[in-house]
Amino acid sequence: MTTTATVAPPTSTDDPSPQRRTRRRTPSALGTYLGLGVLFVVLLFPVYFGLVGSFMGSADLTSFPPKLFPVSGLHPENYANALEVIPLGRQYLNSFVVAALVVAGQLVTSVCAAYALVFLPLRARTFWFFLLLSTMMIPWEAIIIPNYLAMAELGLVNTIAALALPYLAAGFGVFLMRQAFLTFPMELRDAARVDGVSTFGFLWRILAPLTRPSIAALGVWAFLSAWNMYFWPLLITQAPENQTIQIGITQLQSVDANDPGMVLAGVALALLPTLLLVLFGQRFIVRGLTAGAGR
Amino acid sequence: MGTVASTPVRRVRHRSSSAVALLYLLPALLVFAAFFFLPLGRSIYLSFQRSDLFGRPNGFVGLRNYELLVTSGEFGRILLTTFAFVLLTVVPSMLIGLVLALLLSERIRFVRFFRTAFALPFAYSVATAAVLFGVMMNPATGAFNGLLSLVGLGPVGWLTQPPWALLSVALTSVWMQVGYNLLVLSAGLGAVPDDVLEAARLDGATGWRLQTRIVMPLISPQLFFLAVTGTIQALQSFGQIHILTRGGPDRSTTTLVYSIYDVAFANNNSNFGAGSAQAIVLLLVVLVITGFQFGVLERKVHYS
């Protein structure tokens, strides 16, 4: 492995010969590692503190200056305490149910809509496309008041339905699936038609299986957004047993401000699913965001 | 069924009916109609209505809600706070993300490890990040003031002193955003063809020059994308403000979106008319930025 670096802090070299330059790169590679090291410590300190702190006792965490590692032993009971103080288990389940509904809903609505936009005969195709995409430009916060009022009028406040319903479709999902379908080889579609495959059969048995990576990417993004949402669940649920884990962990602090270990344990619990996704599903996340970032 | 279409083309001729396609569009259209388009109309309607004590629309008042907004004096401050917050969030998160992406595009060891590690903040929701930072920013026992005291500084009232509070909320937001920015920019850098870099290097471009003259223009679509989406996202920030400062101290962290919440929902205010007027302002701001984005993209397409 060479230590050649392509980026260097502005070096005042006036030597144009590339061969000689290669040899001189060791210091700049050192600089790269140094820069990465500093940023690593700074940016990952909160991650470290949050996770290690969730196993630390109050004595360590509230001493001043606070200990940065568990001096007085590990305190896994922080987790038990967090689960006891507020119905975090129930809220965890609520979050999972809402996220599952949102993922399923977005997969169905996005795949179907994109299928119509790309493969089916459709008049005013561009109009429908932009109509669906226009929802990406409407900030949710600008329509949150009427959405809240509608849920109140329908008597859906404090229900799982109210949490999931507005998110069963998303402009982003339609866009992502459309991009995936556009690259689908037309020969396969034509072959399927020759073989007499029905409209739905083509979608279900050929298109969907072959675009599975994109569908998985949409699923991951839908899950992340549903699991992480805050404003809407804050408004639409009031009783603790109807709330999601995201709202629940903010209550931990007000319940016992003197027990940061318990608060951090709650944070770690809420974080677990998305942390696993980022660690092991990163390629799906990247696939989703490159569709948005384009090119 | 078995009949062969005369010419297999992607978009079958229009004489065939759109009925089937509309059926497939229907689920998405229903959701959007119920939770986007209808509420949008109602937001506009509410913004022209007075609200009674219980938040029910109570008579057409024309532009009165907007007028009150503009003349209150408070609104200018809210917009200024919002603007400052956007700037303090978008610029640092893009700079750090860019530096990280460039450093990680080097031929170094452990790239995969570093990339995964730096992407970790992306896993944090607004609530998990804000609660975590809230613990660390605790004035008496928090880790931040603890670390500062080790070098003889502080204590800082991270969330309790007006100039610091906005910075602290922005700091939390930057931290959450950096991982995402890194992923986007890394994807952009990964798509820069190696032979372009090689050719540039053979021409004597290295280090800083190579980055600014060759690499940066090549990833300008990603930078532009992040600037626009980052701005829109910062404009919509709510959770970190609600959890960390509740818009305070002295309303110094009350941004536009927090103000909508404050007027319409906090303390049973239920002033949905005034809240809707602010919501429409938010909508217009976002639409202008999106319009700007499409305008620029349009030009870029012609350009290349």
Question: pLDDT in tens for each of the 304 residues of chain B?
Answer: 344 444 444 554 445 688 999 999 999 999 999 999 999 999 999 999 887 777 777 788 888 889 888 888 889 999 999 999 999 999 999 999 999 998 888 777 888 888 889 989 999 999 999 999 999 998 888 888 888 888 888 788 899 888 899 999 999 999 999 989 998 898 888 888 888 878 887 887 777 777 777 888 888 888 888 999 899 999 999 999 999 999 989 899 999 999 999 999 988 888 898 899 999 999 999 999 888 887 877 666 444 3
A1, A2, A3, A7: best mutation site toward chain B, by most B Cβ within 10 Å?
A: A7
Q: Which residues of A touch B270 (CB under 8 A)?
A: none
Whether A185 contacts chain B with CB within 8 A:
no
Which residues of chain B does A137 touch, with a Cβ-Cβ cutoff of 8 Å?
A: 286-287, 290
CB pair distance less than 8 Å for A293 and B225: yes
CATH number, span A90-245:
1.10.3720.10
CB B205 within 8 A of CB A7: no
pLDDT value of position B57:
76
Rg (CA), chain A: 25
Map residue B148 onto helix, strand or coil. helix
Per-residue pLDDT at A24? 42
Q: For position B195, what pLDDT does the model report? A: 83
Residue boundaries of the structural domains of chain A: 90-245
Rg of chain B over Cα atoms, rounded to whole angstroms, equals 25
Q: Output the DSSP codes for chain A.
A: -----S--S--------HHHHHHTTHHHHHHHHHHHHHHHHHHHHHHHHHHHHTTS-HHHHHSSSPPSS-TT---THHHHHHHHHS-HHHHHHHHHHHHHHHHHHHHHHHHHHHHHHHHS--TTHHHHHHHHHGGGTS-GGGSHHHHHHHHHHTT-TTSHHHHHGGGS--HHHHHHHHHHHHTS-HHHHHHHHHTT--HHHIIIIIIHHHTHHHHHHHHHHHHHHHHH--HHHHHH--SGGGS-HHHHHHHHHHH-TT-HHHHHHHHHHHHHHHHHHHHH-HHHHHHHHHHHH--
**Exposed/middle/buried for B118, CB within 10 Å: 0-12, 13-18, 19+?**
buried
Residues in chain B within 8 Å Cβ distance of A131 = 29, 32
Q: Is A122 on the interface with B (CB under 8 A)?
A: yes
Distance (Å, whole) CA A72 – CA A225? 38
Q: Is A96 on the interface with B (CB under 8 A)?
A: no
Distance CA B243, CA A251 (A): 10
Tens of pLDDT, residue by residue over A160-194, are 999 999 999 999 999 999 999 998 888 888 888 88
Task: Give the span between the Cα atoms of A4 and A25, in whole angstroms.
Answer: 6
| Proportion of chain A above pLDDT 70, given as a percent | 87
Tokens (6 digits) for B256: 């536009």
Q: For residue B20, give the amino acid letter.
A: V
Task: Say yes or no to pLDDT of A4 above 70.
Answer: no
Cα–Cα distance, A107 to A222 (Å, whole number)? 9
Chain centroid to CA B287: 13
- Region of B247 please: left (phi>0), alpha (psi -120 to 50) or beta: left
DSSP SS3 for B251? coil
Give the three-state DSSP class for B58: strand
pLDDT at B209: 75
- For residue range A194-241, list pLDDT tens digits in order: 888 888 999 999 899 999 999 999 999 999 999 999 999 999 999 999
Q: In Å, what is the CA distance from A120 to each residue of A175, A199, B61?
A: 16, 8, 47
Residue recorded with tokens 């459709």 = A122
Q: Which residue has the tokens 């993209």?
A: B297
Q: How far apart are CA A74 and CA A61, in angstroms?
A: 12
Chosen from B9, B36, B99 to mutate, greatest number of chain A CBs within 10 A: B36
Q: How far is CA A45 from the centre of its chain?
A: 21
Beta bridge partners of B60: B49
Residue type, B51: S
**CATH topology for B73-270?**
MetI-like fold (1.10.3720)
The Cα–Cα gap between A216 and B169 comes to 33
Q: Give A 8-27 residues with CB within 8 A of chain B.
A: 8-11, 13, 16, 18, 21
In this prediction, residue A20 has a pLDDT band, given cuts at 50, 70 and 90, of very low
Judged by a CB distance cut-off of 8 A, whether residue B221 touches chain A is yes
Query: Which residue from A228, A230, A212 is spatially nearest to A283, judged by alpha carbons?
Result: A212
Average pLDDT of every residue of chain A: 85
Do the chains contact at B105 and A7, CB–CB below 8 Å?
A: yes
Q: Which helix (H) or strand (E) element contains residue B51?
A: strand B49-51
Would an 8 Å CB–CB cutoff place B272 in contact with chain A? Answer: yes
Encode pLDDT of A93-146 as tens digits.
999 999 999 999 999 999 999 999 999 999 999 999 999 999 998 999 999 999
Q: Give the pLDDT of residue A21.
A: 42
Interface A:B, Cβ pairs < 8 A: 339
Residue B97: CA count within 13 A, CB half-sphere? 31
Distance CA B45, CA A169 (A): 24
Question: Which residues 236-255 in chain B show a CB within 8 A of chain A?
Answer: 236, 238-239, 242-243
Res A8: pLDDT: 31
- Confidence (pLDDT) at A27: 55
Q: Among the residues of chain B, which ranges form H helices?
A: 19-32, 38-47, 64-71, 74-104, 111-119, 126-136, 143-150, 162-190, 194-202, 207-209, 216-218, 220-235, 239-244, 256-264, 272-303
The answer to whether the CB atoms of A113 and B25 lie below 8 A apart is yes
Q: Which of residues 117-156 of B touch A (CB under 8 A)?
A: 117-136, 138, 140-143, 145-147, 149-150
Do B146 and A65 touch, CB atoms closer than 8 A?
Answer: yes
A:229-258 residues touching chain B, CB 8 A cutoff: 229-231, 234-235, 246-247, 249-250, 252-253
Q: Quote the pLDDT of residue A18.
A: 44
Helix (H) or strand (E) holding B156: none
CB B241 within 8 A of CB B169: yes
**Short-list B39, B63, B36, CA closest to B50:** B63
B57: enclosing H helix or E strand: strand B57-60
User: Would you kindly state where each structural domain of chain B is located, as residue ranges?
Assistant: 73-270
Return the pLDDT at A250: 93
What CA–CA distances, in Å, run from A68 to A17, A49, B18? 49, 7, 64
Both tokens assigned to A49:
């503190």
Q: Which of B39, B99, B119 faces A146 most closely, judged by CB atoms? A: B39
Minimal Cα distance from A165: which residue of B? Answer: B31
A135 CA: distance to closest CA in chain B (Å) = 7
Residue A244: is it exposed, middle or buried by C-beta count within 10 angstroms (0-12/13-18/19+)? Answer: buried
Q: Which residue from A minimizes the CA distance to B203?
A: A16
A130: Cβ contacts below 8 Å, ≥ 6 apart:
none
Give exposure, B40-52, as e/b (b: 16+ Cβ within 10 Å).
Answer: bebbbebbbbbbe
pLDDT for res B299: 67
CB contact, 8 Å: B111 with chain A?
A: no
- Closest partner CB to A112 (pick from B27, B178, B279): B27
**Model pLDDT, residue A291:** 63
In this complex, do B8 and A190 lie within 8 Å of one another by their Cβ atoms? Answer: yes
The answer to whether residue B53 neighbours chain A at the CB level (below 8 Å) is no
Contacts of A148 in chain B (CB under 8 A): 265
pLDDT of A283:
81
Residues of A in contact with B191 (CB under 8 A): 295
Contacts of A124 (CB under 8 A, 6+ apart): none
With an 8 Å Cβ cutoff, is B22 touching chain A? Answer: yes
- The chain B residue lying nearest A8, using CA atoms, is B207
